[in-house]
Amino acid sequence: MKSILILTTSLFFMVSSLYSRNYSKVYIDSNDSTKYYYCVAPDSQPVGLLILLPGARGNSEWPLKTTKIPYLAAEYGLATIMIDYETWLSWLHDDVLKLLNSSIKNVIQKYKIPTDKCVIGGFSSGGAMALNYTELAFKNQSKTAIVPAGVFGLDAPVDLSELYNVNLLEIQGFVCNGEKVKVSEETKNMYEKMNKYLGNTAENYENYQKYSPFIFNERYHSGGSAVYLKNVPVRIYSGISENYLQKKSECGFYLDSSPFLISFLKHKGNQKASFKSIYDDDYSPDGGENFRGRHAWLGFDSQECVNWIMNLIETNEK
C-alpha cells in the first residue's frame, strides 16, 4: 500500500511539473497586437522547433490546454510555437502563410534554431494546413520560411472538397441510417466561410485543388499537391476507427481520405509515410457508441509523436 502511495505521488509530481512549465506570448510586431504566437521553450538551447497548428474550433492556446505535446517536446529540448489566426478560414490562405512565416522566422532568430530541424503538424484543419505548408515548401522554397524535416496531422481533412460537400449534405438535412444528421455550429461556420471565400465545389473546384493537401477521385488521379510529399516523412493520426468509417461510408457520408494519402505516398515510393489509428475499434471510454467519431486530441499519444519528431531531428544531425 505504501509503495502504491509513493508511486502515485511520484506520478502526480511528474505530471504537475510537466504542465507547470511556463509558456510565453510573443508579439511579432510591437506595434500590432493581433500578430503573435505562443511559445513553450526548453530550459536550455533548443535543439529543434515544432510548429503546432490548432483546428477550426480552437486558437493558439488550444493545444496548451488539450494536449501534452508542447510540454513533452520541451523536455526533449524542442521549442514549440502555436500561432493565432482566423481558424474558421481552415486553409493556407495568404494571410495565414505570412503570419506562419513571420512567426517561424521570429522564433528561429530568437533561439538560433537550425532551419533543417523544424517539424510542423496540427489538429484537424491545422493538420491540413501543415501538410499544405510542407507541400508548398518543396514546390517553391522561396514561399516558406523553412523546409520542414517532417509533417504530421491528427484527423486532418486532406481533401477540402469532400469537407465542403459533406457540410452541404448535413445542412440540407442528410439522413443516415434513418436518422437526420445533426448540424453543428462548426459545420455551419465552416460551410459559410468556404462558400464565401472559395465558392462552391461545382463551379470553383480549382480553389479546392489549390488548398487541399491531397485529391484523388474519379476526376483527378494525380494526387494533387501530395506529389510534393513523395520524399518527406509524413505521419497521419486518425481518431476515427475503421468500423466508424465503414458505417458512415455506407450512408455516403464523409469518408476520411487521410489513410489514402498515405497509401498514395507509399505507392510513389515514400517509405517514410505512415498512418496510425489512435483508437481501437472497441475503445469507448465515455460509454457512447459514437465516441469513435469524436474529433479531439483525446487519446492522442503525445510521447509516441515526440519520439517520432526527435528521430527526424536527430537524423538531420547526421
SS3 content of the chain, % helix, strand, coil (to 5): 45, 15, 40
Q: What is the pTM of this model?
A: 0.84
- Nearest in space to 296 (alpha carbons), one of 186, 171, 193: 186
Query: How high is the pLDDT of residue 292?
Result: 41
pLDDT tens sequence across 2-55: 443 333 333 333 344 455 567 899 998 888 888 889 999 999 999 999 999 988
Contact indicator for 96, 129 with CB cutoff of 8 Å: yes
- The average pLDDT across 190-211 equals 91
CATH number given to 22-158+222-315: 3.40.50.1820
Q: Rounded to an integer, what distance in angstroms lies between the CA atom of residue 129 and that of residue 131?
A: 5
Q: Give the domain ranges of the chain.
A: 22-158+222-315
State what percent of residues in the chain have pLDDT above 90.
45
Query: How high is the pLDDT of residue 67?
Result: 83
Q: CA–CA distance from 62 to each of 41, 195, 316 (Å)?
A: 17, 26, 30
The x, y and z cell numbers of residue 252, run together, are 455516403
pLDDT tens sequence across 71-96: 999 999 999 999 877 655 678 889 88
